[in-house]
Structure 1
Amino acid sequence: MRRTPSRRLLAAALLVASALAPMAAFPATAGPAAGAARHDEDGCPPDGFGAGLTARLDRTIEDVRKKAGVPGAVVGLWMPGKGCYVRATGVADKATGEPMAADSFLRIGSETKTFTVTALLELVDDGLIGLDDPISRYVRGVPGGHRITLRHLAEMRSGLFPYTSDPGFIKALLSDPRRSFTPRETLAYGFRHANTFAPGKQFQYSNTNLVLLGLVIEKISGHRLADFIHHRVLRPSHLRHTLFPQGAEFPEPHPRGYTDQTLDGSTADATNWNPSWAWAAGAMISDLQDLRRWARIVATGTLLSPGTQAQRLRTLPTGFPGTSYGLGIFETNGWIGHNGSIPGYETVTVHLPARKATLVIMINTDIQTGGQEPSTLLARAITAVATPDHVYDGAVVGR
């Protein structure tokens, strides 16, 4: 195959100890109804930044979108005291020419990690787990698990082999992208391989880490990961258009998603591919306004204690210039958050505390240009215009 998805695919069964107070039972997670009425909350006028800057952003986005071959894009930029900018451009469906809509739902790929790690850190604040607990305490069969901590997993410094780099996994997924994977099935692909380095020694982006953290959350809470995130993360954050799908379901409206992560490298429509393989690392769905709200919550620690948020924000070098990684988040030139990439879709959701600014980008392709993620090209170009002293360059993570 021309390019394996191993570089870009999302780029815990034992009883809880009796000393832990049981959580109230959760009903099944409910996502937004298809076609449900939704109102525009951005309140952003067409020239929200003034005619000059708005026109520059329009030209910049269109230039990058066309050069990178991005069918459709939704961009939101909010800068208190300066203005705001919300645009949907291009098409949601290349066959019909249906225009991209600002209220679209999108698969958010690795941005799911910010939700999973937030859920984990809430359990830390509850006193039910510790970040320096070994993963072997919660999940059996992890190679070297007695030396790998939950912190190592959240920081991407465990040394566990990424299951998305296993040739057998790649073939299984791309041979039948609508099949369902369980967390244990995906982990088995990674556990076939030796660990790549000793825990804590370096950074390596690996979805294996997040699948394990999802299993820890399920074991300690006694509930499905989707239900725990819905009740402990989404509901208190008032994110009514964000969901953790059980399979390939996808609320309307949503654009078609285009990928070249196929067995022969040809372009395919990945809209209805099943994201179960990504689970705690990348299966979630959201929209522009929810991601806008979520960006600030993640960066400021609204759901966490100050001490736990401080640990989350302690970012470490990734080995790539300009980008460091903390507990399920990255920092790049002042912007804090995460990007996401899953076959057919890419997103960027980041907050700039120095300006209290928020940037959200949603596009319906993950096909790279010159070896770079199209969402990164857009984010870099937009911030070069709007915040030239804080240019986004988070080109390494989220694959």
Structure 2
Amino acid sequence: MRMTDRARRAVAALAAAAAIAVALSGCTGGETTLAGTPQQVAGELPADTVEQLQSAVEHAMAATGSSGAIVGVWVPWAGAWVSGLGTTAHDSDTPVTTDMAFRITSMTRPMTCDVLYGMVEDGIVGLDDSVAKYVPSTPNLGEVTLRHLCDNSSGLGRSSDTLIHDVLRTPERQWHPREVAAAGLGKESSEAGVAFTDSDTGYLLLGMALQNAARESMPALIREYVTQPLGLQATGLPGAAAAAPGDPALPGYFSDQADRDAGCTAPRDYTVLSSSFGFTDSGGVSTIDELGVYTASLAARAKEGDGLAPRWSGAKPVSTKSDSWYQYAGGTFIAGSMIGQQGATPGYLTSAYADVDNGLTVAVVLNNSAAPESLVGYLAKELAAIVSKVPAREGETAPEFGLPWTADDYHQRVADRAICPIDDAAE
């Protein structure tokens, strides 16, 4: 029964993937199979829009000390813009190209949740199973369920805050997820299921639970449930051995305080890194086109009728101080009508969002991870706001929608989080 269900899902997903790939490439093709999402029109976005988008990315590059960035923006009714900006290093003339692989940081989280929901459908685990059922070393977490871990409502503390300096000192070290999770489990926790708590510990435990239940590794499970059904070749969860995120790879850097004080021109190289520290929280890799395909497919699955699919229907506010339209569920943030993620891992700041109603998709990576991870999320939202007002090409119809923020709002937030000098004259 398990293989029959999976085969049926794979056939359907492959058909959808073919349509998404055509749409995101900007090429002409047949009807897209994504419900409620118009077919991507061919061609680039208007020149003035591209200029605004490039300016926004370059502003964020300066704010983070990044020598390079890769960005993809796909607007179904107007066109697309996919570009590599800058160079592979501050002292290099080698341009960044769009085929370079990078670490997708917290976009790994929804992939881990995809595995969870696939295994639930296959009858291997239940959403409300206790994590202690599958991770025997956590008997005190009997009230924490797999659903809580995916929804980031486990109440558990963060692990990376405690260990990140160790990772920066020894990037090639291989970590056991239990060792990383222990740092978060040792912190004060709150009641499960009550509120959003941004816990990498929860996603590490979820990965451990799923591979124990399936008796397969998480890299294999992500291939099985996520990347193979979508036909993704450069996307996945690497093994523990230290390596670059792909070939070719976008080099990744980190500016320590001394480099920031000196103007962010000589950061340390973290291109070669063990993904074991991030594991099922932030260890994934991809390319810009494939990340765009995955994010668009995720948004399409999040829509059901006039509302969100059950996986996202129980969303909780990100905080008591955040805007009412900013929530979290199912491994993603929900920002108005868009869902996605933003995050950091040594060398990279990555964010991707897609609109569940109309398919507008943005994805971006910056190659210096020293700034707060929120900054790259601000950039993604700025890019989305810029293109949300783009008129439709002749013969197409722009959807009637609006985002609850402006490009100027998030442009300023990027500046406010800057850790490196921004040339005001270039503004």
TM-score by length of 2: 0.75
Bigger relative contact order (CA 8 A; separation at least 6): 1
The answer as to 2:147 corresponding to 1:118 is no
Q: For the Cα contact (< 8 Å) 1:114–1:328, is it kept in 2?
A: yes
Match of residue 123 from structure 2: 127
1:255 corresponds to which of 233, 250, 253: 250
Q: Going by fraction, where is helix more abundant, 1 or 2?
A: 2
Distance change (3 Å), C-alpha of 1:240 and 1:67: same
Q: For the Cα contact (< 8 Å) 2:102–2:249, is it kept in 1?
A: yes
Match of residue 377 from structure 2: 376
Q: 1:295-345 CA distances to partner (integer Å, 9 max, x unpaired)?
A: 12212229x9xx994223532111032421001111112211222311110
Q: Which residues in structure 2 correspond to 1:70-149 (within 5 Å)?
A: 70-142=66-138, 144-149=140-145
The answer as to 2:350 corresponding to 1:357 is no
- In structure 2, how many angstroms separate the alpha carbons of the residues matched to 1:294 and 1:372? 21
Structure 1 residue runs of 5 or longer lacking an equivalent are 1-18, 25-38
Match of residue 176 from structure 2: 182
Deviation at residue 264 of structure 1 after TM alignment: 9.9
2:334 corresponds to which of 289, 312, 331: 331
- In structure 2, how many angstroms separate the alpha carbons of the residues matched to 1:263 and 1:55? 33
Distance change (3 Å), C-alpha of 1:74 and 1:310: same
- In structure 1, how many angstroms separate the alpha carbons of the residues matched to 2:169 and 2:215? 34
Count of residue pairs the alignment pairs up? 356
Distance change (3 Å), C-alpha of 1:193 and 1:64: closer
1:241 corresponds to which of 210, 221, 234: 234
- In structure 1, how many angstroms separate the alpha carbons of the residues matched to 2:272 and 2:42? 33
Q: 1:363-387 CA distances to partner (integer Å, 9 max, x unpaired)?
A: 211222xx56442342233223212
Deviation at residue 352 of structure 1 after TM alignment: 0.8
Q: 1:108-153 CA distances to partner (integer Å, 9 max, x unpaired)?
A: 1111111111001101111222111111111123263111111111
Q: 1:76-106 CA distances to partner (integer Å, 9 max, x unpaired)?
A: 1111121111221111222323111111100
Give the aligned residue type for 2:78.
K
2:46 corresponds to which of 47, 50, 55: 50
The DSSP-based 3-state class of the residue aligned with 1:180 is: coil
Distance change (3 Å), C-alpha of 1:55 and 1:156: same
Q: Which residues in structure 2 correspond to 1:192-207 (within 5 Å)?
A: 192-194=186-188, 196-207=189-200
Deviation at residue 288 of structure 1 after TM alignment: 1.0
Structure 2 residue runs of 5 or longer lacking an equivalent are 7-21, 28-40, 262-266, 390-401, 414-427
Give the aligned residue type for 1:359.
V
2:209 corresponds to which of 197, 212, 216: 216
- In structure 1, how many angstroms separate the alpha carbons of the residues matched to 2:2 and 2:113? 20
- In structure 2, how many angstroms separate the alpha carbons of the residues matched to 1:184 and 1:262? 30
- Report the RMSD for the aligned CA atoms in angstroms: 3.3
